[in-house]
Amino acid sequence: MSMQTIIKQTETAKKLKSHLNMILVENNWLLNQIDFNEVEGLMNQMQAAEHIFITAAGRSGFAMRSAAMRLMHFGFQVYFVGDTTTPAIQAGDLLVAASGSGTTSTIVKAAEKAKSVGAQVVALTTQPKSPLGETADLIVNIPAAEKQDHDSSKSRQYAGGLFEQFLLLLSDAIFHELWKASGIPAEELWKRHANLE
């Protein structure tokens, strides 16, 4: 390996560290933009619901699947919309719908259907006045950049990355509060972890 290659790798390593630092700085900035009364409202809705349904698409969907897993560990009856074992939503249930734009048609339709049967809807979105926001009973406004905000005014990341990352971090914070407030030992929660893997 030549000296030039070593220097090139070192420069790349520095750039990688810089990118990760930028991502962390942006998430920290967003942390200070959130109204945590809205987040507490979401947590209260989760605790009151008979069943929790979660819907999101793309990378937001992956983040929200992680949230669903943690809520299952806590003991909630939780379903990710679209899975083959997801039952019908009913009155007394909660739909948590995440969409940066608030216009994703399948998510908006799911919210409208949930409302039509008497379920509660919480929207996690960058656009409170979107169709999803207008359908929701409660909005958690996450003022990150949307996928096509290319001017870097809210985020230097590509295609909604900040919103998607923050969904995961926020859902972990909600889980952590539920867990710590419950006093349930980690060993008890772990009994619900998948054992057919």
The 3 state secondary structure assigned to 119-150 is CEEEEEECCCCCHHHHHCCEEEECCCCCCCCC
164 is catalytic: yes
Answer yes or no: is pLDDT of 151 > 80.
no
**Chain centroid, CA 65 distance in Å:** 8
Average pLDDT, the chain: 93
pLDDT digits (tens, 9 = 90+) for 13-60: 999 999 999 999 999 999 999 999 999 999 999 999 999 999 999 999
Q: What is the mean pLDDT of residues 99-116?
A: 97
What is the per-residue pLDDT for 1? 52
Answer yes or no: is pLDDT of 72 > 90.
yes
Answer yes or no: is pLDDT of 8 > 80.
no
Answer yes or no: is pLDDT of 141 > 60.
yes
Distance CA 179, CA 91 (A): 26
Q: How confident is the model at residue 120 (pLDDT cuts 50, 70, 90)?
A: very high
What is the per-residue pLDDT for 158? 85
What is the per-residue pLDDT for 38? 98
What is the per-residue pLDDT for 154? 78
Q: How confident is the model at residue 159 (pLDDT cuts 50, 70, 90)?
A: confident
Q: How many residues in the chain?
A: 197
What is the per-residue pLDDT for 40? 98
Q: How confident is the model at residue 197 (pLDDT cuts 50, 70, 90)?
A: confident
Catalytic residue among 164, 187, 188, 197: 164
Residues 6+ apart with CB under 8 A from 135: 108, 111, 112, 115, 121, 123
Q: What is the mean pLDDT of residues 110-115?
A: 98
Concatenating the DSSP letter of every residue in 79-131 gives: EETTSTT-----TT-EEEEE-SSS--HHHHHHHHHHHHTT-EEEEEES-TTSH
